[in-house]
Amino acid sequence: MVASKINIKGITSVTLINIDNEDYISLTDIAKLKNPHEPKDAIKNWMRNRSTIEYLALWEKINNLNFKGVEIDPLLFNAGSNSFTLSPTRWVELTNAKGIVTKTGRGGGTYAQKDIAFEFASWISAEFKLYLIKEFQRLKEDENRRLSLDWNLNRTLSKINYKIHTDAIKEHIIPPVISKKKEGILYANEADVLNVALFGRTAKEWRQENTDKKGNIRDYATIEQLLVLANIESMNAEFIRMDLPQKERLIKLNQIAITQLKSLTANTDIKKLSSNNDEQ
């Protein structure tokens, strides 16, 4: 569970986590503004309101195919009465809700998907809600800027390595006298060696499968794929200088790409970058 924090006017620190590519915000941290000693009581008081149950149910109906909507009828009937209580755990157990989750252990507490968290923050304080939304948006913008910088850096690295790659083609594959048209065909052919090794398809095949998209196959690569592309471009240049046949190079590059992608997708730092895009 990778967590980040945002500070609201220096008053309180609110924890954010990512669950299934969705941003969840700590209701426990928000509730401390109202009840610093027993924040869970503030959450329960909010959830016992009829309007809160109706909002939670509506969010689940829109976002959760497995939501047990029929279970909310007795909750709505009893909502607001002095004897009625509703905890996050009971809500989830009764309705199979996913908009609110409870975590135990370090960093534990009650978390809610951002739309629900903003609704709770509004119940705590309208002013606090506005500052929370502002700081949340600022955090997301910072993450997007960092992700864009990392993606462009790796895209640039890939282009630099591609120059090394084409130089090796020119020196070892292209005959001394050849027409510009045939030279271009050889370059494209070698570029597709990399495309097939990494993406499993040629540039032409990708365009035929993605007629609605602009650019090329590499413009839609993930950070992990761009890193591997930069590596196999350099390796292919060396394989060319070693006079390895194209078929043999393709097999080797494909094996290298598979191994490196497995390693990169298991890397927590790379996961963090990718999640910023999904988190974003």
Q: Are residues 55 and 29 in the same domain?
A: yes
Closest by alpha carbon to 112, among 224, 22, 208? 22
Q: Are residues 145 and 118 in the same domain?
A: no
Q: Are residues 195 and 102 in the same domain?
A: no
Angle, nearest 10°, between helix axes 223-241 and 246-265? 150
Inside any domain, residue 135: no
- The domain total for the chain is 2
pLDDT, position 177: 46
Show the tokens assigned to 176. Answer: 């001394």
Residue 219 DSSP one-character state: G
Sheet holding 12-19, edge to edge: 3-8, 12-19, 22-26, 109-113, 100-103
| Cα gap 116→70, rounded to integer Å | 20
pLDDT, position 103: 87
Inside any domain, residue 208: yes
pLDDT, position 184: 53
Quote the Cα angle for 60-66-68, to 5°. Answer: 70
pLDDT, position 91: 94
pTM of the predicted structure, to 2 decimals = 0.51
Phi, psi of 215 (to 5 degrees): 85, -155
Q: Are residues 149 and 262 in the same domain?
A: yes
Q: Are residues 164 and 274 in the same domain?
A: yes
| Cα gap 18→24, rounded to integer Å | 6
- From 63, 93, 124, the end of a domain falls on 124
For residue 246, the enclosing domain spans 141-278
Q: Are residues 36 and 87 in the same domain?
A: yes
Inside any domain, residue 130: no
141: exposed, middle or buried (C-beta count within 10 Å: 0-12, 13-18, 19+)?
A: exposed
- From 90, 124, 158, the end of a domain falls on 124
Q: Are residues 88 and 50 in the same domain?
A: yes
CB 42 within 8 A of CB 53: no
Q: Which residue has the tokens 């990392």?
A: 150
Q: Are residues 103 and 12 in the same domain?
A: yes
pLDDT, position 146: 65
Q: Are residues 156 and 197 in the same domain?
A: yes
- From 124, 151, 169, the end of a domain falls on 124
Inside any domain, residue 136: no
Q: Are residues 104 and 27 in the same domain?
A: yes
What average pLDDT values come out for the chain (280 residues) when binned by 10 residues? 68 82 90 88 92 94 92 87 89 94 82 93 88 84 66 61 61 48 60 85 88 84 82 86 86 86 64 47
Residue 83 DSSP one-character state: T
Q: Are residues 153 and 27 in the same domain?
A: no
